[in-house]
A and B are shown apart, each in its own frame.
Chain A
Amino acid sequence: MSCIRSLAAVSFLASIGFSTTVIAQEMISDTTARKQPLTAWGVQFEEFEYRYSDDDEELGVWDADAFYGTDEFKVRLLTTGEYEIEEQAYETLENQLVGQIPISKFFDAKAGVRFDTPEGPDRTYAVLGVAGLAPQWFEVDANLYASKDGDTSAEIDAEYELLFTNYWILSATLDATVAFSEDEEIGVGKGLVSTETGLRLRYDLIDRAFSPYVGVVHERKYGDTADLAKAEGGGTEDWFAVVGARISF
């Protein structure tokens, strides 16, 4: 307001023919969008796929995240789930809401909560993690989880992309979970819990907004977790053929 007033005063003085002292910095203070932190948002489904296993299990699977915020602070919603088509039940269903801040040139720190609401018992965890780009182009996302009951675990996700061309891209993913305590109710044993490795060949059909892919995924349970699975009568290892699309908007 004061700058508008001083502008008016200046033009008034000019109008009556005075030479005036104009001190530029008093005239306008920059309140335009450019002087505000840039906010951006985005939604990405890294996986949105149908899985068919070597023992005829059918799954619908997604792994997505949405963010809103500035360079200095983003809110990110991460969601991942596996839906068992025949049994019409969620084998896994995780939702995380985290705040994210930059901590180094290539890495961000995240903190927030994770809600697991699959078929069976629910869990709520506190989340602390880092995500970013490691040397040699490995996208890394590492998280520590602590449940309300004090069970802790860690998960590391890594992805590497190989460009056959600028449109045919092979992505290799590895996801490993380690538990520091047993949570028998949800079938988690102490130690290395499970790994999921995937290879997906995609084609960027519409920009990077819609990229259909085919691939293979291997899931395996280890140690006490594998024993718990066997005791339940389940398998400890699965191969899947997958078809789906990477989507972003």
Chain B
Amino acid sequence: MQGLVKAFQPSSNEVQLGIKQMKIRLLTGLLTLLMPAMVMAGEYGLTVDRVKIDTGDFVKEGIGYNGASPGPVMRFKEGENVRINVTNNLDEMTSIHWHGLILPFDQDGVPGISFPGIKPGETFTYEFPIQQAGTYWFHSHSGFQEPDGAYGAIVIEPEGREPFRYDREYVVQLTDKHPHSGDRIMRNLKMMSDYYNREQQTVGEFFSDVSKNGLMNTVSDRMAWGGMRMMKADVEDIHGFTGLINGKGPSQNWTGIFEPGERIRLRFINSSAMTYFDIRIPGLDMTVVQADGNNVQPVSVDEFRIGVAETYDVIVRPKDEQAYTIFAESMGRSGYARATLAPEEGMEAAVPQLREAARLTMADMGGMPGMDHGSMAGMDHGNMDMGSSEGVSGMDHSNMGSMDHSNMKGMDHSNMKGMDHSDMSGMDHGSMAMGKGGPSDPFYAKGSGVVPTAANGGKFLSYADLKAQDPLYEDREPTREIELRLTGNMERYTWSINGVKYEDADPIRLKYGERVRFKFVNETMMTHPMHLHGMWSILDVGAGQWNPIKHTVSVNPGTTVYMETEVDEPGQWAFHCHLSYHAAAGMFRKVIVEGGPESTQAKTGVVAEDGGEA
């Protein structure tokens, strides 16, 4: 099943070795003979410039591409060999990382890991084969240039037919534009970690809690949090931004035109520095067809949460001659982005109010050492892997959290015969909160304060709903597990993995050809979008071979999430939390893949079953 991807392996390795473009040209002739699929070559240009960014609320200096922020939408075609000339017009080093693209590591654009970076005045030529399709994005990996505006979208047209149809498409790229520069935000957070938090609990909230929960309960609640020196309001570090869609603030209202009855594909990309968005289009159903560039089995939702650096492609079909608002509320409700779909320019629909600010609960603290892990039992998806008979593996166990008991009557129990009930004994049914109070989602701690709900009371997308349309890899047992505890200290604004900041950390060493199971244990009270460069992250939603393939995996507070990676790209890669200021404060690792197709013979041991073709 990985044939398609694998077919490019030898060429990508040779390209990776040939740093200089001239030499690649020499190789191309040879490659053309070997690889008919790669005859196309596209040449692209990007300049990195100082730009003005006008959000409608404020105007600031920033960094952009080809004179604007966001930069252009780069449109590639699967199978094409791209050359991208990047000219640095800044007076500082820069870089471009192609987020989610599978490419040779020296083209990945992380200074200090992939390459040295692009000097002021220099033109660097990226050159790599496009071996995938879907919605992705690109951004600077240098300093805080990305939060300062250095980002753009990538759309890759597939070679074959897509399993869904649409008449029109739009990129919907979100960001959280802040009036302060990235450097200043980082410095202020280091000086005062709550510098930007303007949703802290007030005296007024104390009294309203007293009238709701009683004086003693409220006092003991405040004492419990005060004792930990943690804030319930610590859902988002950075408030005070203006949400932008395709570079337009709410008042500038980016508008996508449609004709009633058309199917519109919206390519949502969250290019925010720090902000998760809950997205809905009141009046329209959204069918999610792609997540992080990979096709998923279509799932119809009323609302979904997009983590930082994630992409979701949805299809909507507005039938009426009216405007619809795309409303993207930040997870903590401190801000929003807004755009419009309309039959004509200038039409608009009502813009909803922000919902009440989210508050963490003790359940979100569940991952902290020394605290009650009992509530996490339901999160252990390993326990939920119930055999491999098709009927069972296709069954959505993880959805049970939100399952209404009345629906169970209609469930076909005959499909469950192959299910090994003994495995279920470890499963904490209580924690699945069936039908009992509050929203639930197996990817949030039970009773978490940040579980999303749809504004219209309808369906909110869960990771558990994501099933790969076509598995990219054969399903196999992981060769080993690596535990990564996501750690930090909010007061000091230090973020780390296994308690160690990047500056003090050794690289994570993987062996070419192995399949590694990463276990993320979130011991902080914040949500972290973990992004492994260069290789896919197969998110364990309990669907076996149908587990979705992603590049960014969001780990909610107090939860444990597993993902598996087929280590099929040699070289060294970045692996980090994609919240800009968390990554910069140390929640970052270098991953080294030891061995590879060429070196496997020379080295002992590690020979990939499927990696050695040449």
Which residues of A line the B interface, CB within 8 A? 4, 7, 10-11, 13-15, 17, 19-25, 27-38, 40-42, 44, 67, 71, 102, 105-106, 133, 135-137, 162-167, 207-208, 248
Of the listed residues A34, A35, A38, the one surrounded by the most CB atoms of chain B closer than 10 A to its CB is A34
6 CB-based A-B contacts, threshold 8 Å: A7-B19, A24-B593, A28-B113, A34-B583, A40-B187, A137-B226
CB-based nearest A residue for B195: A208
Other A-B pairs beyond A22-B598, A23-B594, 6, CB < 8 Å: A28-B572, A34-B583, A42-B191, A71-B492, A163-B202, A248-B191
A38 to B185, CA, bound (A): 13
The answer to whether A30 touches B113 (Cβ under 8 A) is: yes
Interfacial chain A residues near B602, Cβ < 8 Å? 21
The answer to whether A162 touches B203 (Cβ under 8 A) is: yes
Query: Shortest Cβ distance from A181 into chain B, in angstroms?
Result: 36
The answer to whether A248 touches B204 (Cβ under 8 A) is: no
Of the listed residues B27, B202, B602, the one surrounded by the most CB atoms of chain A closer than 10 A to its CB is B202
Q: Is B18 among interface residues, defined by CB-CB distance under 8 A? A: yes
The answer to whether A71 touches B494 (Cβ under 8 A) is: yes
Chain B positions 581-614 with a Cβ under 8 Å from a chain A Cβ: 583-586, 588, 590, 592-594, 596, 598-599, 602-603, 614
Interfacial chain B residues near A24, Cβ < 8 Å? 105, 570-572, 592-594
CB-based nearest A residue for B494: A71
The answer to whether B20 touches A19 (Cβ under 8 A) is: no
Interfacial chain A residues near B117, Cβ < 8 Å? 32
A13 to B27, CA, bound (A): 13
Interfacial chain A residues near B389, Cβ < 8 Å? none
Interfacial chain A residues near B494, Cβ < 8 Å? 71
Band of interface residues on B = 35 or more
The answer to whether A27 touches B584 (Cβ under 8 A) is: no
The answer to whether B599 touches A34 (Cβ under 8 A) is: no
Given A10-B17, A106-B229: A35 touches B191 (CB 8 Å cut-off) = no
A47 to B240, CA, bound (A): 25
The answer to whether A32 touches B191 (Cβ under 8 A) is: no
Q: Is B404 among interface residues, defined by CB-CB distance under 8 A? A: no
The answer to whether B23 touches A14 (Cβ under 8 A) is: yes
Q: Is B429 among interface residues, defined by CB-CB distance under 8 A? A: no
A162 to B501, CA, bound (A): 33
Interfacial chain B residues near A21, Cβ < 8 Å? 598-599, 602-603
Interfacial chain A residues near B16, Cβ < 8 Å? 22
Q: Which of A13, A44, A162 contacts B17 (CB 8 A)?
A: A13
The answer to whether A40 touches B112 (Cβ under 8 A) is: no
The answer to whether B192 touches A248 (Cβ under 8 A) is: yes
Interfacial chain A residues near B502, Cβ < 8 Å? 34-35
The answer to whether B20 touches A15 (Cβ under 8 A) is: yes
The answer to whether A14 touches B14 (Cβ under 8 A) is: yes
The answer to whether A22 touches B17 (Cβ under 8 A) is: yes
Interfacial chain B residues near A105, Cβ < 8 Å? 489, 491
Q: Is B111 among interface residues, defined by CB-CB distance under 8 A? A: yes
Query: Shortest Cβ distance from A141 into chain B, in angstroms?
Result: 15
A19 to B18, CA, bound (A): 11
The answer to whether A135 touches B227 (Cβ under 8 A) is: yes
The answer to whether A42 touches B14 (Cβ under 8 A) is: no
Q: Digitize B226-243: 1 where CB-to-A-CB distance is under 8 Å, 0 elsewhere.
A: 110100000000001000
CB-based nearest B residue for A18: B17
Interfacial chain A residues near B603, Cβ < 8 Å? 21
Q: Which of B112, B202, B599 contacts A30 (CB 8 A)?
A: B112
Q: Is B352 among interface residues, defined by CB-CB distance under 8 A? A: no
Query: Shortest Cβ distance from B498 into chain A, in angstroms?
Result: 16
Interfacial chain A residues near B584, Cβ < 8 Å? 34, 38
The answer to whether A166 touches B599 (Cβ under 8 A) is: no
Given A20-B598, A37-B503, A133-B491: A11 touches B229 (CB 8 Å cut-off) = no
Q: Digitize B422-435: 1 where CB-to-A-CB distance is under 8 Å, 0 elsewhere.
A: 00000000000000
Q: Is B421 among interface residues, defined by CB-CB distance under 8 A? A: no
Q: Digitize B16-55: 1 where CB-to-A-CB distance is under 8 Å, 0 elsewhere.
A: 1111101100110000000000000000000000000000
Interfacial chain B residues near A25, Cβ < 8 Å? 507, 572, 592, 594
The answer to whether A38 touches B223 (Cβ under 8 A) is: no
Q: Is B200 among interface residues, defined by CB-CB distance under 8 A? A: yes
Q: Is B186 among interface residues, defined by CB-CB distance under 8 A? A: yes
CB-based nearest A residue for B597: A19
The answer to whether B191 touches A44 (Cβ under 8 A) is: yes
Q: Is B190 among interface residues, defined by CB-CB distance under 8 A? A: yes
Q: Is B116 among interface residues, defined by CB-CB distance under 8 A? A: yes
The answer to whether B503 touches A36 (Cβ under 8 A) is: yes
Query: Shortest Cβ distance from A140 into chain B, in angstroms?
Result: 12
The answer to whether A166 touches B507 (Cβ under 8 A) is: no
Interfacial chain A residues near B585, Cβ < 8 Å? 38
CB-based nearest B residue for A40: B190
Query: Shortest Cβ distance from A52 into chain B, in angstroms?
Result: 28
Query: Shortest Cβ distance from B32 into chain A, in angstroms?
Result: 15
Query: Shortest Cβ distance from A37 into chain B, in angstroms?
Result: 5
Interfacial chain B residues near A11, Cβ < 8 Å? 17-20, 23
Interfacial chain B residues near A31, Cβ < 8 Å? 112
Chain B positions 89-118 with a Cβ under 8 Å from a chain A Cβ: 105-106, 111-117
Q: Is B143 among interface residues, defined by CB-CB distance under 8 A? A: yes
Q: Is B199 among interface residues, defined by CB-CB distance under 8 A? A: yes
Interfacial chain B residues near A38, Cβ < 8 Å? 186, 190, 503, 584-586
The answer to whether B187 touches A28 (Cβ under 8 A) is: no
Query: Shortest Cβ distance from A111 into chain B, in angstroms?
Result: 19
Of the listed residues B23, B114, B583, the one surrounded by the most CB atoms of chain A closer than 10 A to its CB is B23
Q: Closest 6 CB pairs between A and B?
A: A32-B112, A42-B191, A14-B17, A30-B112, A40-B190, A136-B226
A245 to B397, CA, bound (A): 57
The answer to whether B598 touches A19 (Cβ under 8 A) is: yes
